[in-house]
Structure 1
Amino acid sequence: MKKWFISCLCLVIIGLGGCSVKSNTSEEASNENIEVVTTIAQIGDITKNIGGDHVNVSSLMGPGVDPHLYNAVQGDIQKLDQADIIFYNGLHLEGQMGEIFEEMKQNKPTIAVAENIPSDNLLADPASPDISDPHVWFDINIWKYAVEAVRDGLIELDPDNEETYVENTNAYVQELDEVNDYAISRFEEIPKKSRVLVTAHDAFNYFGEAYGFDVLGLQGLSTESDYGVSDIERIIDVLVERNIKGVFVESSVSERSINAVVEGAKQEGHQVTIGGELYSDAMGEAGTEEGTYIGMFRHNVDTIVNSLK
């Protein structure tokens, strides 16, 4: 019995040793990839396209999340702490997280991709000229600077795979150019006098500059700002004057403000409908077309054209 017991014990130890080796091997394989954490999913999508099989990407702010009001939770801090590299937008988009990023910069690459954009390409906040509009992903040509920032960050961290990152970046930029051409072509369907985009907050100013739209938002660049009766009346006056029939809600902002515009216009005898939902500060659900930057952009283009043409 004693010999049988010792034999069994040896088998158990050998078995546990095998499990340990397997676990360590699995952990080493997992650690071969770069752990990337991004704030908004738009940056996460860039990183997935450029990094490919060399990165594991986690975005803190998912569908329907407003980055202006976002507060990091304990789980986010842990993800940031365990990341090899962090990409965030900057330009005060993630206003509540500024101190966290400054702290993280002491220990690891923490890169504000929008701050790679030349200052001449940035739009100012109409209410505060010293502050730049952070919604840079709505001008594809400007967003390419963010793509370059992600590429360069990955190359600096992982120079052995530089060739892959450069090739993936070139392929992704070509896709961006194609969707930009698609947008230009589709917007030709809208009469110039009808190119007015009314949304809850001023997320689409770069979009307007790129494609020739007048953009009106009830709130300012940040959803932290409030709106009043005078803001609603200002929007309604433009809708009536230019005979605009469609306004838009945003996936990450309450519909309350836009509904107030629709009701106010109705009282003025001007019929306005909600032309659809646009993705502004957040993308769609993962696994859907709108869960990618290009799919989100195409959705917005089609929704605007189908409503305003």
Structure 2
Amino acid sequence: MKNTIALLFLSALLFSCNSNQKTENEKLQVVATTTMIADLLHNLGGDSIELQGLMGAGVDPHLYKASEGDVSKLLNADLIFYNGLHLEGKLVDVFEKMESQGIKTIAVGESIEKSELIGSDYFASNYDPHIWFSVSNWKKVTEFTTKKLIEHDPKNKSLYQKNSETYIKKLDQLQQSLIAKIETLPKEKRILVTAHDAFSYFGKAYGFQVVGLQGLSTATEAGVKDVQKLATFIIEQEVKAIFVESSVPKRTIEALEEAVKSKNHSVTIGGTLYSDALGNPDTNEGNYLGMFAYNVDTIINALQ
């Protein structure tokens, strides 16, 4: 209830304020919700934009609650980029209302055709929002975001285009590297068991069977039956390792590990994967390219 009231208050503030008129030399004020989107905008905009992120490393966007500091960031933004597809929970309602009031909010998930989205019967949007776990998807998001920056800041068009081309080349190199590493893992071992169902796009793109203990949203709790059912699956499929996630409490995966042991079998926790947030800014995992490479290395090493 408190969060709902806070969001309504935030909406009222936003709707009652007039947007600032910018001079030609002022930088575009940009806000990004998730760390993945903030990292993309940093690569595209560089020093030509004033970029602020709402969520930090290890933050779960499904459960994120707007803070007082967020109000100031949003009020002063020229553009607000968010994932959409209900990843950001109740914040999406605020962004949609802002858009209807003429405040520019951009859902990067709109760059992916609905036919390419993964559906779900268990999530409010009926689509899996974790689109960044396909490099091909992220290239589309990059192109979409570049166009939006150019539309609102045409004086820096050449810079955005150049940065976009450079970044897409890096994404292509990442894709080639990922595929080469994954090909070293036998197909029968490509079963990825994680804390929640964040890796379906990864599985579809790179040939993994993906099983999440929780649903697409971490707001969904896994029950005892879910744990026991997945424990049986792990034993039957001879899954060697399961994975925790940086933005999800370890307890569910630890409970799964214990459930397997209770059936006189063993499974190891193969490491921590970055799912809904990047790592700390001063690490390789603090950017999208490094995060994806780290995840794949961790998965391959544990399942070999």
Runs of 4+ residues deviating >6 angstroms: none
- Taking structure 1 as the reference length, the TM-score comes to 0.88
**Alignment of structure 1 residues 44-55 onto 2, 5 Å:** 44-55=38-49
2:123/2:216 contact within 8 Å kept: no
Distance 2:282 2:298 in 1: 20
Distance 1:107 1:54 in 2: 24
- 1:241-262 CA-to-partner distances (Å, cap 9, x unmatched) read 1211100000000001000110
Distance 1:89 1:145 in 2: 13
1:155/1:162 contact within 8 Å kept: yes
Corresponding residue number in structure 1 for 2:161: 166
Q: Which amino acid aligns with 1:261?
A: L
Does residue 282 of structure 1 match 2:293? no
Distance 1:129 1:99 in 2: 12
Name the SS for the 1:178 alignment partner. Answer: helix
What displacement does 1:95 show? 1.2
Name the SS for the 1:132 alignment partner. Answer: coil
Distance 1:183 1:209 in 2: 14
CA gap of 1:62–1:185, structure 2 versus 1, over 3 A, is same
1:121/1:142 contact within 8 Å kept: no
User: Structure 2 unaligned runs (5+)?
Assistant: 1-21
Does residue 185 of structure 1 match 2:180? yes
Distance 1:126 1:258 in 2: 23
**Alignment of structure 1 residues 133-152 onto 2, 5 Å:** 133-152=128-147
What displacement does 1:233 show? 1.6
Corresponding residue number in structure 1 for 2:33: 39
What displacement does 1:87 show? 0.2
What displacement does 1:128 show? 5.2
Distance 2:206 2:196 in 1: 18
Out of 172, 175, 179, which is 2:170 matched to? 175
Corresponding residue number in structure 2 for 1:115: 110
Corresponding residue number in structure 2 for 1:68: 62
Distance 1:234 1:148 in 2: 41
- 1:69-103 CA-to-partner distances (Å, cap 9, x unmatched) read 11111110110111111100000001120232123
Aligned length: 282
Name the SS for the 1:56 alignment partner. Answer: strand
**Identity %, equivalent residues:** 49
- Taking structure 2 as the reference length, the TM-score comes to 0.89
Corresponding residue number in structure 2 for 1:17: none
The CA RMSD measured in Å over matched residues stands at 1.7
